[in-house]
Chains A and B, each alone.
Chain A
Amino acid sequence: MVRIKRILVLFLVMLLTFSLVACSGSSQTGSKNSDSGTKTNANGEVDTSKEVTITMMVLGDKPTNGQLEKVMEQVNTKLKEKVNAKLQLKWIEWADYMTKYNLTLASGEPVDLIITATDWLDAWGNAQKGAFMDITDLLPKYAPKTFEEVSKESWEETKYDGKIVMIPEDSYTQWVNHGFFYRTDWAKEFGITEPIKDFETLGKYFQGIKDNKKGVIPWDTPGTNVTTAWGYTTSYSDAIELPITTGVFPIYWAESYEDKYTVMSPVFEDVFVDYAKMMKDWADKGYWRSDVLNYKGDTRALFQAGKTGADQHHTETFSGLRPQMDLKQPGSEIDMFAWSDTRDNLVSMSITHGATAVGAHSKNPERALMVYDLIRNDEEIYKLFNYGIEGVQYEIVDGKRVRPEGYDETKDAFSANFWGGRVDKFEIPSADKWEGMSEIYAQYDTIKKPYPYGQFVFDSTPVEAELSALSQVTAQLVPAIAFGKAGDPEKAVKDFRKRLEAAGYEKVQKEIQKQMNEYKKLVEGN
């Protein structure tokens, strides 16, 4: 009996020590004060006598090489001197980031600044749930420069329920419109001397590879990439995509930019039948693997190894890929066939593709905005925070950013992944970016149309069930159609339409149209 008691006691002691060890390892984050540390005195001046720590939620993997700490130390020295605050980053890693992002926001943990986005980080959904603070009245006072700089129209696009809930990244040029990258050296061999501007010519290029390049698959893609469905629709009709997700392919589009409030679906138009026919034809000719639907290869790496003739992604990717390809496949001089090349159907990106919000449970929203204002508008802090330390992470040669001599990626790499308010005026172009990009941007500028749905927040509650049913149908049928694996194309599209209707296509369309009409009143009424 005594022995048993002893064993039990020992066991409990072990448990306790372990829990103590584990507990002491946890770090305390966030400031403990419940009242805000930023007061305004009688003259309306901001009083920052109390030092506070501002937390910022960013997406990405925390650099573990110590550079982050070094850079943040310099950033914090400047922040302390200017607004008496310290900035601390909270990282959400890429592994299952969406779940973690939404959980962290739902849990009510106090975070001051949050990187968000309406198109890939569910910003509206989180605004609906009350995760973001209303900063309409705080902005002019605590982030005056930002408030000035962002135009009135842009602020309109950040409002939920008439209140500003985030700060847009509206002065930063980036293009995430998709297309195909192809090798002009091969295209010339096959007699294609003009830049490729439509799918027919792309087909010719693929056929050329098939005929002349042994062992090269024209487009060696995994079957999950169904972006060609977007591409064909954009190239051969004037329809523009609506910000409503229905799984792997958006079913609902607007008629055209001129007729932007009419909800339709390209799937029910002839264009989709033509698309299905072309893809069936391409599949039969062997422009991709026959087991494409289960294939999981890395197209970009194969493209760089010269094993495939095309890669599919957006303009920003192209800007970095071009110089890399010039090294890996000298003379390849890759070019991009963007979907918009066919008939100039190009809509700008939403300015809330990157944004920063203030957490609803922030203890120091005023000081958080002051810190944000500095990151965005103080050139020194901006460069530190985005690029790192001059001489360690970068040097400027002829106005371009290059890596210093002896730079080692593993030891010296730094990133703070600040995608919620970069501005062109402080950006130093990277030497790794292809020089010809400015021409491409200029060409886009001549045809681009402003993004029309910035303030459109779709309330999906009445049609939640139908939307998830539609997502299931697209997941089942779109990949098969996109890679010509669905038998007779006309029959496949008919079947696809039938199943969409069964899943509640019309009910959802009516609901979107109803909300679109409201939205039209809101926009046109202004």
Chain B
Amino acid sequence: MENSARRNIDFSTIMVRLIGYGFIGLFALCCLLPFVLILSSSLTSERAIMESGFSLWPKEFSTFAYEIVFKNPRLVIGSYMVTMIITVVGTAVGLFIVAMTGYALQRQDFLYRNKISFYIYFTTLFSGGLVPFYLLITQYLHLKDNYLAVLLPGLLSPFLIIMMKAFVKSIPHEITESAKMDGAGDFTIFLRIILPMTTPALATIGLFIALGYWNEWYNSMLFLSPNMEYRPLQLFLYNVITSADFIRNSAASANVTPQDIPLESMKMATAIVATGPVILFYPFVQKYFIQGITVGAVKG
């Protein structure tokens, strides 16, 4: 009796697990394989790529692509430092400001909330365009060749403010009111009550901001000139590839025979260099991320 029941349970659970794990395993493989391909290609000699294309296992092992990327280790490390500092500072400051804005905008006793919300939302529909933006940063704020030119534009994004607003909405307004009764100021309420209650949201938004800063290259390209010694990592890597491309295609390349620049494997190596740390960092914040995404659906 007991046995058969267990067998039954066993059989159905085994089936469910088989199908479930099989499917998830396949899906994980689909995500993993491209990455393995990139990693192996970055370690393959250019000749092998030319002759037989990319493969999941290096046909001819070579670290030459990495040697070129790390030709000047000081510059790579400097670029890493710049990107990390900008990411850490930008995420901390940006998160704080976004959270404050989002909270303030959904407070029902805030008179102009709809007008200001619209003002923020409006910028997602209409923008001044590139030239006014460039003029603002360079001519009015004088931020050319200044890391702030990269840091400031990324601090606030309308999308994230709207997202934060929706998150905070799930916290009943009564909490704020009762805290007020007990004599707490607005800042106390925000710091001591609201922030702890919105950690999943903060993690999600923080991750968005951090990824934005980590991948940021366009503003760096516009505002940080080559006169600066250290520039964000993505721009540095982008330049490694474009200049290799250029050397390869220019007739003036003396002594560097074009094939000495392993363009294909170098592209892969730069991809690895750029994503490596993010991959290492991700498992630690993953749980918040999942929580953050589901928080809107289930009110816990």
Write the chain B residue with the least CB distance to A321: B251
Is there contact, CB below 8 Å, between B72 and A64? yes
Write the chain A residue with the least CB distance to B47: A305
Assess A320 versus B145: contact at CB under 8 Å? Given A304-B259, A305-B50.
no
Measured CA separation A106–B135 after assembly (Å)? 9
How many chain-B residues does the 8 Å CB contact rule pick out? 55
Tell me whether A442 is interfacial, beta carbon within 8 Å. no
Is there contact, CB below 8 Å, between A95 and B238? yes
Tell me whether A122 is interfacial, beta carbon within 8 Å. no
Tell me whether B134 is interfacial, beta carbon within 8 Å. yes
Interface size grouping (class) on chain A: 35 or more
Is there contact, CB below 8 Å, between B227 and A29? yes
- Chain A residues near B72 (CB-CB < 8 A): 64
- Chain B residues near A25 (CB-CB < 8 A): 145-147, 228
Measured CA separation A96–B144 after assembly (Å)? 17
Is there contact, CB below 8 Å, between A320 and B239? no
Tell me whether A23 is interfacial, beta carbon within 8 Å. yes
Assess A403 versus B235: contact at CB under 8 Å? Given A91-B226, A99-B130, A305-B50.
no
Closest beta carbon of chain A to B228's beta carbon, Å: 8
Chain B contact residues, majority secondary structure: helix
Tell me whether A333 is interfacial, beta carbon within 8 Å. no
Is there contact, CB below 8 Å, between B225 and A91? yes
A305 touches which of B51, B144, B187 (Cβ 8 Å): B51
- Chain B residues near A137 (CB-CB < 8 A): none
Interface residues of B in 241-300 (CB under 8 A from A): 242-243, 245-246, 248-259, 263-264
A95 touches which of B148, B239, B248 (Cβ 8 Å): B239
Is there contact, CB below 8 Å, between A432 and B254? yes
Tell me whether A302 is interfacial, beta carbon within 8 Å. yes
- Chain B residues near A8 (CB-CB < 8 A): 187
Write the chain B residue with the least CB distance to A97: B242
- Chain A residues near B148 (CB-CB < 8 A): 19, 22-23
Measured CA separation A188–B224 after assembly (Å)? 54
Assess A403 versus B255: contact at CB under 8 Å? Given A106-B131, A300-B249.
yes
- Chain B residues near A109 (CB-CB < 8 A): 138-139, 144
- Chain B residues near A19 (CB-CB < 8 A): 148
- One digit per residue, 1 when the CB lies within 8 angstroms of any chain B CB and 0 when it does not, for chain A 29-72 equals 10000000000000000000000000000001110100000000
Measured CA separation A100–B228 after assembly (Å)? 16
Tell me whether B93 is interfacial, beta carbon within 8 Å. yes
Is there contact, CB below 8 Å, between B221 and A95? yes
- Chain B residues near A318 (CB-CB < 8 A): 251
Measured CA separation A466–B219 after assembly (Å)? 32
Is there contact, CB below 8 Å, between B251 and A316? yes
Closest beta carbon of chain B to A290's beta carbon, Å: 16
Tell me whether B222 is interfacial, beta carbon within 8 Å. yes
Closest beta carbon of chain B to A396's beta carbon, Å: 14
- Chain B residues near A305 (CB-CB < 8 A): 47, 50-51, 259
Is there contact, CB below 8 Å, between B221 and A96? yes
Tell me whether B89 is interfacial, beta carbon within 8 Å. yes
Is there contact, CB below 8 Å, between B146 and A22? yes
Measured CA separation A93–B217 after assembly (Å)? 13
- Chain B residues near A307 (CB-CB < 8 A): 50-51
Interface residues of B in 126-167 (CB under 8 A from A): 130-131, 134-135, 138-139, 143-148, 151
Tell me whether B197 is interfacial, beta carbon within 8 Å. no
Tell me whether A268 is interfacial, beta carbon within 8 Å. no
Tell me whether B107 is interfacial, beta carbon within 8 Å. no
Tell me whether B113 is interfacial, beta carbon within 8 Å. no
Interface residues of A in 155-201 (CB under 8 A from B): none
- Chain B residues near A410 (CB-CB < 8 A): 71
> 7 new A-B pairs (CB below 8 Å) besides A1-B188, A304-B259?
A4-B187, A23-B148, A26-B145, A62-B227, A107-B134, A302-B50, A433-B251
Residues of A within 8 A of B (CB): 1, 4, 7-8, 11, 15, 18-19, 22-23, 25-27, 29, 60-62, 64, 90-91, 93-96, 99-100, 103, 106-109, 298, 300-302, 304-305, 307, 316-321, 324, 327-328, 403, 407, 409-410, 415, 430, 432-433
8 smallest CB-CB distances across A and B, nearest first, come from: A320-B251, A62-B226, A61-B243, A94-B242, A26-B146, A91-B226, A22-B147, A26-B145
